Structure formats: C-alpha cells, structure tokens
Structure 1
Amino acid sequence: MRGAIKFIIALLVAAVSLVTYWCSSEQNEFTGEEQRVDMTVEQEIALGLQAAPQMAEQYGGLHPDQQAAQEVKAIGQRLVQSTRVKETPYEFDFHLLADEQTVNAFALPGGQIFITAGLLRRLESEGQLAGVLGHEIGHVVARHSAQQLAKAKLTQGLTGAAAIATYDPDNPASRSGAAVAAMIGQLVNMSYGREDELESDVLAVELTGNAGYDPRSMVRVMQILEEASGGAGGGPEFMQTHPNPGNRVAKIEAAIQEQYPNGLPEGLTE
C-alpha cells in the first residue's frame, strides 16, 4: 500500500513538472524561435545584476587595468549599438575580470558579460575579442539562461519524482536510484547547453559582421582555445562549459557562407 501511494505521488510530481514546463512556451522576438522560459525579461535583468558582483568575486574581482577594461566595454557596445541588439530591452555591460590564469568568458541573464584577463591576453586582435563578446551577447538575446533555468526546474521535478518512487527508507541501497536519475538529468541539460553554444556561434557571426568585424576571426579564436587546452589537466574552464572548439569551426564557417553567400564585404576589422 505504501509503495502504491509513493508511486501515485511520484506521478503527480512528474505530471505537474511536465505540464508547467510545456505550458511556459513563448516566441523569442530576436531569434524567432519558440522556447520555454519561466521568467520575464525584467526578471532576467534583475537576476543578472544581482549575481554580477558574486560572479566577479569568484574571478578575483574586476581588473585594475582601466584602459583594457574600457576597450572591452567599447567593443561590446559597438556590437550592441551597430546591430539589432540595440532594439532589445537588455541592459548590456561588459566587464574584464582580474583572473590572469583562467581562460573563460560568460554571460549572465539580462546582459552582464564577462571575460577573464587570462582569455583576453591570448587573443590577438580586436576582431577576435568581438567574436568572443558577440558569442556571449548571443546567449543573452537567445535567452539561453532563462531556457536552462526552466529545463533545470523540469529536471528537478522529474528527478524528485524518481527519488520518491524508488526510495525505500528500509533499504539504503535504494538511494542509488535517485543518484542515477539526477545524473541522467544532468546529461540531458548538458546536451541542451551544447546546442545553445552552437546557436550563439551563429548569432556571433551575424553580430560581428554587422558591426564591421570579420567573423572569420572567430575561427582563430577556436584555434587559440584548442591551443590553450593542450596538456593542461582538465583544460581551460571555457573548454569545460563550451563544446570542443574544433567541432565549432565547421559550424562557424557554414554560418559565414550562409549569411554571406556572395562573400564578405571588404574593409572588415580583423
């Protein structure tokens, strides 16, 4: 009897999680895609602003080199103001982090974008920096963070249902069922994350080209990231949160060909 009650409760928890997720559908005005998010743009902006100081602290705070920091901000704002990104409600700000060792860049929901000094010093041109920042802008306008949060809530609901259904207080070994369910949920979210990264690469091709930067510089960024991963333990942090750079080059080149079938215009900044 107790098992039947647990099973019914688990089904109810799973059903509520699924219905909530599938009913949170809306069209992204920037990408035109239908996606599932469970927060407003205003909530995204507030969340990003609230999290920004703590995220910066994890990387040693902001870099004291004001000239380099202003360069990052200027290139970031050029990408925003020269493209249709300026028509979005997001409040973009670009930050250079003090961490000289970590190779990483990331975006918080709402428009707070960060790059570490460790990645910046490896880049060789303005166009390459624009490619990195354009990729992170892509995450914001595509609402990937809000999308991932909705998926995470779904995953938590489903893994919670699995834990309820499989856990037996008289059998400690049953806890492994919940652990397996949680692992499956993490793998699902990881695969979705990789798709988000590739979509941001395509958006970065559009943004860099429209802002006057050569999107082919992004190919060199991928090569730099591969070089950074050589022989280093688990590789740079960027490699742990993004798909293999070598696998992204073909996607970037295909996006350039699709967006510029007659060839790139002359005079782009590399």
Structure 2
Amino acid sequence: MAQQYGGIHPDRQAGARVEEIGQQLVRSTKASQTPYKFQFHLLADENTINAFALPGGQIFITAGLLKNLKSEGQVAGVLAHEIGHVVGRHSAEQVAKSQLTQGLTGAAAIGLYDPDRPSTAVSAAAAAIVGKLVTMRFGRQDELESDELAVDFTAQAGYDPRAMIQVMQILEQAGGGKNPPEFMSTHPNPGNRIAELEKDIAAQFPGGVPATLKP
C-alpha cells in the first residue's frame, strides 16, 4: 500500500504524531472494543490529497492531505472518519461486493504474501487488490455513517468535531473548481455534507460545543 504512494514519509516525527493522534482516537472510543488492530501511516506522496482505510484497521493519510490541514483537530477528524469506515465494516463490505477475494487474486494472494520472500505472481496479485481497494468508492450511506461516527469519535477523544466541517471546506477549496481531490473521488459527497455534519454536532451538543475541546 505504501509503495503505491511513494512509500512511508521519511519524516518519522510527523508519522509518529499521526499514529499518536490515531491511537488516542481508538483508545477513547468504541473502536478499542473491536477486534481490529489499528495502525496509522503517513505516506510520502506530497501531491495526492487522500486518506483511506483497509479492512482490519490499517489507515493511511498522504502528506499531500496532511499539509493542507491547519490543526490537530482536523487531522483527528480525517483519521476518525477513516476509523468509522473500519468500525462500520464499509471496506470489508466493498471487498465482498466486488468479489476481490475469489481465486489467486484475492484471499489466497493475501494469505500467501510474505514481504520477506515475495514471489512475483503473489506480489502482483496483492498489488492488484491494493489498487482496487484504494479506488473503491463508498456509497452515500457509508459516508454519512462515517461522518456521524467521526463527530462522536473526535469529541470523545477531546477534539472539537467542528474541525470536520473545516476539513470539508479545505477539500472543496483544494479542488478549485477543477479536478476534485482524490479523497472526494473515493469518498463522494453525500449531498450537503457540511449541513449533515452540523446536524450531527447539534444533536450531540444541543447546548453548544464545549470550549474545552481542542480545535
């Protein structure tokens, strides 16, 4: 997966901070009660604006997206959204629907893959699976559910959930009316996303978002 985006970012400190924010989200929420082993990776690609999750808890964010984010809360919002996809089993459902796990190009390839002793055939099959997973489009209901979970997760971890709205605004601006960021292609906008986020936040905090939450 990392190879598809230029490898893991060489700034280990930045990568460790992404991992730290992600693990704080997991520890503070029901994600910690799932069987998934969550790990968070900063990818070296400075040009692609994207984040994605694989079934089982492997979560990736590109340097291209990270450098557009202005606060720790916004980073937490992106990671929380991806955790939501894992907890909601959206990626797993996508894999099942696409029949990626049939034959050598599926479960067999994943099961046989050994990074220390890779075979050409198995590596190529695994790479094909990775490529398809990255480009899968989530449905409207999956996106709304992950947004709602992100509001819950960020607040429970001590972050202001309104940072999610800022992320959506940043992604819209990054498109500049031309080609949308890759994130918006694989995570299509389910209607008025900002309005839905505002509704979720108002439902959770009818008296207003506490000032103690970190932006």
Whether TM exceeds 0.5 here: the answer is yes
Is residue 2:151 matched to residue 1:243? no
Correspondence for 1:66 among 12, 17, 31: 12
In 2, Cα distance between equivalents of 1:82 and 1:240: 30
State the match for 2:52 in structure 1: 106
Q: State how many pairs are aligned.
A: 181
How far has the Cα of 1:251 moved from its partner? 1.0
In 1, Cα distance between equivalents of 2:52 and 2:192: 19
Report the secondary structure of 2:42's partner residue. strand
State the match for 1:9 in structure 2: none
In 2, Cα distance between equivalents of 1:113 and 1:257: 28
In 2, Cα distance between equivalents of 1:112 and 1:229: 26
| TM-score, reference length from structure 1 | 0.64
In 2, Cα distance between equivalents of 1:82 and 1:211: 5
Matches within 5 A, 1:49-198: 55-153=1-99, 193-198=139-144
In 1, Cα distance between equivalents of 2:194 and 2:177: 21
Report the secondary structure of 1:96's partner residue. strand
Moved more, 85-94 or 116-125: 85-94
For structure 2, list consecutive stretches of 5 or more residues without a partner in the other structure: 103-135
State the match for 1:254 in structure 2: 199
Question: In 2, are the aligned partners of 1:62 and 1:95 still within 8 Å (CA)?
Answer: yes
In 2, Cα distance between equivalents of 1:68 and 1:202: 27
The structure having more radius of gyration, on CA atoms, is 1
Distance 1:222-1:246 versus aligned 2 partners, 3 A rule: farther
Report the secondary structure of 2:61's partner residue. strand
Report the secondary structure of 2:60's partner residue. strand
State the match for 2:209 in structure 1: 264
In 2, Cα distance between equivalents of 1:236 and 1:246: 17
Report Cα offsets for 1:70-112 as digits up to 9, x if no partner.
Answer: 1100100000011121111110000000000000000000000
State the match for 1:209 in structure 2: 155
Question: In 2, are the aligned partners of 1:104 and 1:118 still within 8 Å (CA)?
Answer: yes
Letter in 2 for 1:217: A
Distance 1:217-1:245 versus aligned 2 partners, 3 A rule: farther
Question: In 2, are the aligned partners of 1:222 and 1:245 still within 8 Å (CA)?
Answer: no
State the match for 1:30 in structure 2: none
How far has the Cα of 1:231 moved from its partner? 4.4
Report the secondary structure of 1:255's partner residue. helix
Question: In 2, are the aligned partners of 1:108 and 1:145 still within 8 Å (CA)?
Answer: yes
How far has the Cα of 1:262 moved from its partner? 2.4
For structure 1, list consecutive stretches of 5 or more residues without a partner in the other structure: 1-54, 157-188
Question: In 1, are the aligned partners of 2:29 and 2:153 still within 8 Å (CA)?
Answer: yes
Q: Which has the higher helix share?
A: 1
In 2, Cα distance between equivalents of 1:196 and 1:256: 18
In 2, Cα distance between equivalents of 1:246 and 1:269: 28
Report the secondary structure of 2:139's partner residue. helix
Q: CA RMSD in A?
A: 2.0
Report the secondary structure of 1:269's partner residue. coil
Letter in 2 for 1:213: Y
| TM-score, reference length from structure 2 | 0.79
How far has the Cα of 1:149 moved from its partner? 2.4
In 2, Cα distance between equivalents of 1:230 and 1:60: 25
Report the secondary structure of 2:173's partner residue. helix
